[in-house]
Chains A and B, each alone.
Chain A
Amino acid sequence: MTDLLNAIVAIANYVLIPGLAYGSQLSLGALGVTLIYGILRFSNFAHGDTMAFGTMVTILFTWWFQSIGISIAPLPTALLALPFGIVLTALLVLGTDRVVYRFYRARRAAPVILVIVSMGVMFMMNGLVRFIIGPDDQRFADGARFLIKAREFKQWTGLSEGLAIRTSQAITVVTAVVVVALLFWFLMKTRTGKSMRAYSDNEDLALLSGISPERVVMITWLIVAALATVAGVLYGLDKSFKPFTYFQLLLPIFASAVVGGLGNPIGAIAGGFVVAFSEVTITYAWKKVLVYLLPEDLEPAGLAQLLSTDYKFAVSFALLIMVLLFRPTGLFRGKTA
């Protein structure tokens, strides 16, 4: 019986909780990609770097707050700085839209041209972020580190496996739930949200019914800026901030959006968790759990790890390619491939 409990705790500690946190971060990122795809109709390669920009601004404000002694301990100061990050990121993406994307939208350029344009924006944002904060790792998490410590959990339950929940993980999940609830309330209940969905479903009909496309696009960018900044800050709090890592995050985020079905918000969320959990489960060494569950003579000799952790990104992509091949519209029927 204790073996079973130990196995459950081990799974929760090494698979469930990290997977939930990572999945929430990916979902928020994928929601941004999917909204752009639904409304502006292109895959935004600059999304990872938008996240990096928002996080960078938030970090700069966090440092400033820390230096003048403002804090909301035990919560991390970054949460206080987050709104400022969102506002500046919103200004940046609105400016980019005005200077870059609007030109192509006006002449109804092919989506693939917009993708290439977004590659240019990606380069520039990437350079900008490295220019301002440098290419190095930055840690900016402060406040209480753990909600539940592994040692306390062991003492409290008497099990040999510990369960640790970091504050950042808890904050990630709670924030993600709040943000997603707000987003869906907005999309489903408000007039503006409905006009956005109408525009996404059928641009021409939406125009005929008097929806202003520029307004829809502007609101989309505002939401995307908020989502990207929140996702980036949560990821940075949970792990650390490094511009190159954020650029690489683009890969699992795209995978999540496509797996769920590009253009479908519910799909983006589901896709985020599917990708996160497949990454974690396939690269986790299951030996620990199997030792508890199997009789002694059946214990695995190796680590019982399906793939080494270095193949993390490969897992999300293998998944992506399989979905593209066998169900091109994604699990939740996004726009046609």
Chain B
Amino acid sequence: MNINWKNIALFALVAVLILGTGFMQSWNTALLILNMGLISAIMAIGVNMQWGYAGLFNIGIMGFVAIGGLATVLTAMPPVKEAWAAGGLRMMLALAAGAAAIAGAVRIHRKMVPGRRRMLALVAWLIAGFVLYRQLFDPAAMAIEAVNPASTGYLGGAGLPVLLAWPLGGLMAAGVAWVIGKTALGLRADYLAIATLGIAEIIVAMMKNEDWLDRGVKNVVGIPRPLPYEIDLQRDPGFVEGAAALGLDPVTASTLFVKLGYGVMFALVLLVVLWLAQMALNSPWGRMMRAIRDNEVAAEAMGKDVVARHLQIFILGSAVVGIAGAMMTTLDGQLTPGAYQPLRFTFLIWVMVIVGGSGNNWGAILGGFLIWFLWVQVEPLGKMLMDLVTAPLPDGALKAHLLESVAHMRLFTMGLILLLVLRFSPRGLIPEK
């Protein structure tokens, strides 16, 4: 086995960057970067499965991240009994009616002969279904949202341990991906891109507006944590003693302890996902995927079911992203649907995959860490640079404006990095073998 020194050096560079942050700024910042870097790496692996293995151009990543976040709320929050009593069953009935209306429409579309009659039947069925759905849905949603709107006003979750949300987030994302894949995967690359971009927007719009489900823009806060709270640790005499033995004050020690705990958990998930992804990539299945990616027509001629394989990888990749989304919401301890923005949760992940090296899981991980580090650190670095540049300038509007604008450097930098990599190293930092 030949050791690839370049790749080791690249990962060492990331380690040095994060450790450097620890020494220069603070260990809390360093651990925050590490934790989000781990999550970003998992998301990047998910995208890499779709794009790198199979060539599917999905820019609806944000939607799956958000679904994972929703799963966390639905799993871990305690159920709101009053809301269930007020309209829970009616809501379930309404949703069932909605699903039945769509299933019926699909059936009509399949069974009837194409033509004007099918069109009319479809339209009539859908209008009837929509009216019925709204008749059931509106009063149920109103009843639920009326229950103590300032603190709940939603159905709540299942009250299960929050760690269950991670696999559940993956499952929910997979379910959504199945629906999307069934409808949109036949489209050519840039049409698929536009369609997925739109679907992600719809998912986030729903999470922002369906208050009965997740409180919408009122956010769900205080999601239970898999780790103890800092405040409890500081009260624990055993912990305080241990911290003192290490020469740390209890407050710092408790924050570091919790962050490290998350880091270990995320790293375990990353290792499992990476191991599975590598096994899949190097298996006959992985070779088939790449064969389909490189030449669909030839693969189809060899008897491979291109449509089914595309659907399969789309679901798998989305599930990985969903897991990462659930982990992120767990880390934040709150669900803020307004925070899901395509630049941050779709395009940034794409930058990670392209810069890291599409088709290579190690590359995706490297890209995840490196780009996340830059995303966080470009701002302070840019500020230092701008302070230096503007130092000779007289105080005034221009100087103030320049200093203030530094916050927007990160988007510019990300674009620049993406373009430079695409131009001079189009296969990424760690190319596909």
Contact = CB atoms under 8 A, between A and B. Distances in A.
Interface of A: 42-43, 100, 103, 110-113, 115-117, 119-128, 130-132, 134-135, 247, 251, 254-255, 258, 302, 308, 310-311, 313-314, 316-318, 320-321, 324-325, 328, 337
Given A119-B347, A247-B343, A251-B197, A130 B205 contact: no
- Report the contact-size class of chain B (Cβ under 8 Å from the partner): 35 or more
A321 B197 CA distance: 11
Given A313-B198, A320-B198, 17 more contacts: A42-B190, A100-B419, A112-B57, A112-B189, A117-B419, A126-B411, A126-B415, A131-B405, A131-B408, A254-B197, A254-B198, A308-B209, A314-B205, A314-B206, A317-B198, A317-B199, A337-B188
A313 B205 contact: yes
Interface in B175-200: 183-184, 187-191, 193-195, 197-199
Given A115-B189, A310-B209, A317 B411 contact: no
B416 interface: yes
Nearest to B190: A43
A131 B416 CA distance: 15
B415 A324 contact: no
A311 B205 contact: yes
Given A131-B408, A320-B195, A121 B419 contact: yes
Contacts of A130: 405, 408, 411
B410 interface: yes
A251 B415 contact: no
Contacts, number: 131
Interface of B: 57, 138, 183-184, 187-191, 193-195, 197-199, 201-202, 205-206, 208-209, 343, 347, 350-351, 354, 404-405, 408-416, 418-419, 422-423, 426
A100 B343 CA distance: 21
The SS class assigned to the B binding surface is: helix
Contact of B412 (A112, A124, A302): A124
B401 to A, nearest CB: 8
B412 to A, nearest CB: 3
Given A113-B422, A317-B198, A123 B354 contact: no
27 contacts: A111-B189, A111-B190, A112-B57, A112-B193, A113-B426, A115-B189, A115-B193, A116-B354, A116-B418, A120-B422, A123-B415, A123-B416, A126-B343, A126-B415, A127-B413, A127-B414, A127-B415, A130-B411, A314-B206, A316-B198, A317-B198, A317-B202, A318-B202, A320-B194, A321-B184, A321-B198, A324-B191
A124 B419 contact: yes
A110 B189 CA distance: 10
A123 B419 CA distance: 10
A128 B416 CA distance: 11
Nearest to A317: B198
A135 B341 CA distance: 15
A134 B199 CA distance: 29
A116 B189 contact: no
Q: Which of B184, B209, B410 has the most CB of A within 10 A?
A: B209
A314 B203 CA distance: 9
Nearest to B419: A120
